[in-house]
Amino acid sequence: MSVMGKALFVDLSNKKTKEEKVEREIYRKFLAGDGLGAYYMNKLLDGKEDPFGPSNVLIVAPGLLVGSSIPTCGKTVFFAKSPLTEGWGEGVFGGSFGLALKQAGYDALIIRGKSREPSYLLIDDGSPEIKSAEHLWSKSTRETADILKKDEGKDFSIACIGLGGENLVRYAIIDCDDRQAGRGGLGAVMGSKKLKAIAVRGTKDIEVTDPEKVLRLTMEWYKKLVESQAYRDDTLYGTGEFLEWMNRERGTFPTRNWREGVFKERKEIDPYYWVPRYSIKNLACIQCVKPCGKAFVIKEGKYRDTKLDGVEYETLFALGGNCGNPSIEAVAKANELCDLYGLDTISTGGCIGFAMDLYENGILTKKDTGGIELKFGNSEAVVKLVELIAKREGIGDVLAEGVKRAAKIIGKGAERYAVHVRGMEPPAYDVRGIKGMALAFMTSPRGACHLRSGAYALELTGKFWKYEGVDRLSSKNKGKEIADMENFMAVYDCLGACKFSRSLFLLDGFSDILEAVIGERYTEDDLLKIGERICNLKHLFNLKCGWKKEDVKLPPKMRIPIPEGASKGSFVSEKEEKEMLLDYFKARGWEEDGKIPREKLEELGIAEFFDH
């Protein structure tokens, strides 16, 4: 059984820790990872909590298959009530931290309370200890990890925050050995608890039911994976390989704060340009056979000695195209700073692009920006703004709140330029030309998100799994599609499976795997039911946090037709928006106002969490 059967509770206020057995029945209903998080978030929070208060929790749970050797299944999830959306918050990451936690004996770590002084949590094979982090405070993520590895041992995995989290930037990330739990400001929750880092070492064996079968399946799957179509390009060019196609073939690469869907100045940020020039090495997550990651190094010039794992597709958009920034070196430098300060690159780029749009429209002036000529394409300004946001200096202090709050603070009609859904800055999919994704942005429990449904691949190519002939420019029949995909993807986050493997494993690939790993066979339908259960549980959490249907809307820019390129003329009307949302509620069996009827929760066996 590749779960450890235990959760570790740590209360930073009173420095008490306790272990709790997780019953087999819980795993059966929720698997692990995402499911275990959804269970505990609902069990422990009533939704009224201040995200920065001691009553908010920070949870981390490795996927069920973490440690099993099944390729690409090494993902782990952080959870908390999000300070960006004030609702469901989660961030999936691929570092070794989750494996270490599991080897230390835990399927979930649940942190509550608030430390008075900067502290870090040390877990050495199951002996939790809260230690002073005075010497680490204000250090970068890289410095923090280096110091902790030096002090505690280099076989520790480190999750930590940078200045962003300390300064409660609402989209601060948690760095996990150079991978990031990225969205929704979970790093700021950690900062609010004065928790600088979590260092974990584990040496326990992770047992599986039928080890020989797991070995055989491991071999079978890694052959399938490495022979798959997507493998080759990703290995060489990483996720950015997608960029040129999104620009040229689909015209849905959001550019200059979503003014355009094609970034004409994209030459340098295309990995076909920069990989041969700057990438010195492939990098892979733990338990992965496909190295999407690229060790990016700038050896000379203004940004000399820049070193990072990147640049990912989303960041090429956020700090590149969305800011009209054509310089790959500036994108890489800004990306490195985001990593060191601990900021979400998507939201950071969203905020900078938003500020540039305001500047060009006269809503912000040099007086507001401290003299910075904040025009689209000002590469140096992008780099500078990252620093100001992390330090909460000048305009950076406003932008650190995210575009939704920043627009309110700035006023003067700034809201027209604020691109977000439920407070979350969206990733690199211009949904005016990918209408199913417009719906997915609205229904994602954590706000505008591409990965809760992963429907972009289906929408952009027209087929995936049981769907084919999908028309991305139509808003018809999207409700069931997105609900199905959300259920599908929730299973991936329970198992710790990388979503880039979704076209290979699909769901039925896991039937044999789960039988070998945990001794129980799940059909595709069984898994989808679990996915549905978890999606409902996340929505239930949002309802408890005050989710209202009227808050679920696309930003004003989605009404303006895409001006050029392959999706020229496409936009999402208010009518389409409303119809899609209703269609989704119907597909989910929810009420017209988005509430979940008690019968649905009973059907899913989660009525115990019902309180509305």
514 binds a copy of itself (CB under 8 A): no
DSSP-assigned letters across all residues of 329-368: HHHHHHHHHHHHHTB-HHHHHHHHHHHHHHHHTTSS-HHH
Q: Which of 54, 194, 235, 512 binds a copy of itself (CB under 8 A)?
A: 235
Q: Does 512 bind a copy of itself (CB under 8 A)?
A: no
Nearer to a copy of itself, 222 or 467 (CB): 222
Please state, in angstroms and as integers, the Cα–Cα distance from residue 231 to each residue in 119, 237, 238, 272, following that order. 41, 10, 9, 16
Please give the distance of CA 89 from its chain centroid, rounded to a whole number: 9
Range 146-205, binding a copy of itself (CB under 8 A) = 205
- Is the separation of the CB atoms in 311 and 303 below 8 Å? no
Do 290 and 226 meet the contact criterion of CB atoms below 8 Å apart? yes
Which part of the chain contacts a copy of itself (CB under 8 A), choosing from 49-57, 232-240, 241-249, 489-497? 232-240
239 scored as a contact of a copy of itself (CB under 8 A): no
Give the one residue of 231, 303, 465, 467 binding a copy of itself; rule: CB under 8 A: 231
Q: Please report how many Cα atoms fall inside a 13 Å half-sphere around the Cα of residue 176, on the Cβ side.
A: 29
Nearer to a copy of itself, 40 or 274 (CB): 274
For a copy of itself, the closer of residues 1 and 44 by Cβ is: 1
Comparing CA positions, the residue from 332, 392, 338, 381 lying closest to residue 359 is 381
In this chain, which stretch among 210-218, 474-482, 494-502, 576-584 interacts with a copy of itself, using CB under 8 A?
210-218
Pick one of 23, 134, 219, 412: the residue that binds a copy of itself (CB under 8 A). 219
Give whichever of 290 and 533 is closer to a copy of itself, judged by the CB atom.
290
**HEC profile of 43-102:** HHCCCCCCCCCCCCCEEEEECCCCCCCCCCCCCEEEEEECCCCCCEEEEEECCCHHHHHH
Burial string for 252-268 (b: 16+ CB within 10 Å, else e) reads bbbbbbbbbbbbeebeb
Residue whose CB is less far from a copy of itself, 106 or 171: 106
Q: Which amino acid is at 262?
A: V
Q: Which two tokens stand for residue 378?
A: 């000002």
The interface mask with a copy of itself, positions 44-73, x = CB under 8 A, is -----------------------xxx-x--
Backbone angles phi, psi at 86, to 5 degrees: 55, 35
Question: Least separation, in Å, of the C-beta of 282 and a copy of itself?
Answer: 5
Q: Which of 207, 268, 526, 551 binds a copy of itself (CB under 8 A)?
A: 207
163 in Cβ contact with 390 (< 8 Å) = yes
State which residue, 205 or 593, has the beta carbon closest to a copy of itself.
Answer: 205
Q: Residue 351 is which amino acid?
A: C
Instruction: Kindly state whether residue 1 participates in binding a copy of itself, applying the rule CB under 8 A.
Output: no
Please, which residue, 76 or 570, has the CB nearer to a copy of itself? 76
Residue 542 found at the interface with a copy of itself (CB under 8 A): no
By the rule CB under 8 A, 232 interacts with a copy of itself: yes
Sign, CA dihedral 562-567-573-578, equals negative
Largest pairwise CA distance in the chain = 67
Residue 105 CB, shortest distance to a copy of itself, in Å, is 14
Using the contact rule CB under 8 A, the part of the chain among 227-235, 447-455, 566-574, 585-593 near a copy of itself is 227-235
- Toward a copy of itself, which CB reaches closer, 115 or 287? 287
**Site membership for a copy of itself, residue 206 (CB under 8 A):** yes
Binding-site size, a copy of itself (CB under 8 A): 39
How far is Cα 321 from Cα 327, in angstroms, rounded to an integer?
10
Give the distance from CA 374 to its chain's centroid: 28
- Euclidean distance between CA atoms 350 and 355, whole angstroms: 9
Closer Cβ to a copy of itself, 282 or 511, answer by number: 282
Query: Under rule CB under 8 A, which residues in 257-316 are in contact with a copy of itself?
Result: 281-291
> Where does this chain bind a copy of itself (CB under 8 A)?
67-69, 71, 74, 99, 205-208, 211-216, 218-219, 222-223, 226-229, 231-232, 235-236, 281-291
